């Protein structure tokens, strides 16, 4: 395991001289590409210098914490952390260089000096702005060599490649389940092994494990329609609604057809789930019992049976329930009510 240069992340891939792709006549401004991480460089020298990140040549060890680095300059920057040379006066965190400290200070000040010329969204770094700009340009410079699928981020490509290799390097220490992405592991821990739901809806009080889940839910209250059609003035709350609209009204794209029953779908994920039900494949397994499910959402709903956490409350008597569907029969039967409104429940 090698700790590398500027960002001090761990690299588990080894490379040799054959991992370098040179395109000296490429019309792109950065014609030299590393085939390990697909990063591109303007010069052959820069590419060779970058290669050491993967090969582990000339490893330098820190005498304070025994971390290893590919470059001596990286070790010197790392030693600045131990010496507290570049220290944040707000939180006391130390950095290897002044530029990193300057960037960190923006997290306290909220400064975002880089602005998108298309949508005016602002960013703390030029790199984040460059990545964001690909949304407008549609640029996807990172391509999978196995299926030719393209990505806008190298991290997305690295995660995608694990679909082909089956590699699942992130393992849950509580149930030994493995995941291909660290974000999936963190989500698994929150949903399965923890009752912590720090994000609450300001409209109904429902709790969520992630901020993205909360933002998705809030649209049901606000009626926000962030997805707009490029051909007309129609706007939509959900992305799949926009895709169906483009297919039906503007003939943009193609319908995906089930080869078993000929049913049509606008999204590949929906078709994949539909075929899974035809074939009876249930890939999601409960870690508490042998039950299996077609979707992760079905598994999450089932896992509430094994949990003591109750988030739904009857607005009439205050009784708590694990699942929303359990509230309605209780409200009608035990509280002698003939009608109900979801606004009564939190």
49-77 pLDDT per residue, tens? 777 666 655 567 888 877 777 777 888 88
How far, in Å, CA of 296 to CA of 305, rounded?
A: 15
For all residues of the chain together, what is the average pLDDT?
76
Right CATH for 2-90 from 3.40.720.10, 3.30.160.60, 2.40.37.10, 2.60.120.260: 3.30.160.60
CATH topology of domain 264-309: Double Stranded RNA Binding Domain (3.30.160)
Task: Specify the pTM.
Answer: 0.41
pLDDT for the residue 261:
93
Model confidence over 75-107: pLDDT tens digits?
888 888 888 888 888 888 888 888 888 888 888
Structural domain boundaries of the chain?
2-90, 264-309, 311-346
Model confidence over 175-233: pLDDT tens digits?
777 888 887 788 777 766 776 777 888 888 777 777 788 888 888 888 888 888 888 98
Domains 2-90 and 264-309 alike in fold = yes
CA distances from 145 to 38, 141, 231, 313 (A): 11, 12, 34, 51
Dihedrals phi, psi of 142, to nearest 5 degrees = -105, 120
Task: Provide the Cα torsion 329, 334, 335, 340; round to 10°.
Answer: 0
């Amino acid at each position: 395991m090698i700790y590398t240069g500027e960002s001090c992340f761990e690299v588990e891939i080894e490379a040799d001289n054959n991992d370098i792709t040179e395109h000296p006549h490429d019309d792109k401004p950065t014609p030299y590409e590393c085939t390990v991480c697909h990063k591109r460089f303007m010069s052959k020298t820069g590419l060779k210098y970058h290669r050491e990140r993967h090969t582990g040549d000339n490893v330098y060890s820190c005498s304070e914490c025994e971390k290893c680095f590919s470059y001596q300059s990286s070790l010197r920057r790392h030693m600045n952390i131990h010496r507290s040379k570049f220290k944040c006066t707000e939180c006391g965190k130390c950095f290897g260089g002044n530029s990193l400290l300057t960037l960190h200070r923006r997290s306290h000040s909220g400064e975002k000096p880089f602005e998108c010329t298309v949508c005016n969204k602002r960013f703390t770094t030029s790199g984040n702005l460059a990545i964001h700009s690909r949304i407008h340009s549609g640029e996807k410079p990172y391509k999978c060599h196995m299926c030719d699928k393209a990505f806008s981020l190298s991290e997305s490509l690295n995660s995608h490649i694990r679909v082909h290799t089956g590699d699942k390097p992130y393992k849950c220490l509580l149930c030994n389940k493995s995941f291909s992405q660290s974000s999936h592991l963190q989500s698994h821990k929150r949903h399965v092994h923890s009752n912590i739901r720090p994000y609450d809806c300001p409209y109904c009080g429902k709790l969520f494990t992630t901020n993205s889940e909360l933002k998705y839910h809030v649209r049901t209250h606000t009626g926000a329609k962030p997805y707009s059609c490029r051909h007309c003035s129609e706007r939509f709350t959900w992305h799949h609604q926009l895709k169906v609209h483009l297919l039906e009204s503007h003939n943009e794209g193609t319908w995906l057809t089930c080869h078993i029953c000929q049913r049509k779908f606008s999204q590949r994920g929906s078709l994949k789930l539909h075929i899974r039900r035809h074939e009876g494949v249930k890939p999601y397994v409960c870690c508490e019992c042998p039950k299996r499910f077609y979707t992760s959402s079905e598994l999450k709903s089932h896992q509430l049976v094994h949990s003591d956490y109750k988030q739904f409350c009857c607005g009439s008597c205050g009784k708590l329930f694990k699942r929303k569907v359990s509230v309605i029969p209780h409200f009608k039967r035990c509280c002698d009510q003939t009608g109900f409104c979801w606004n009564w429940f939190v």
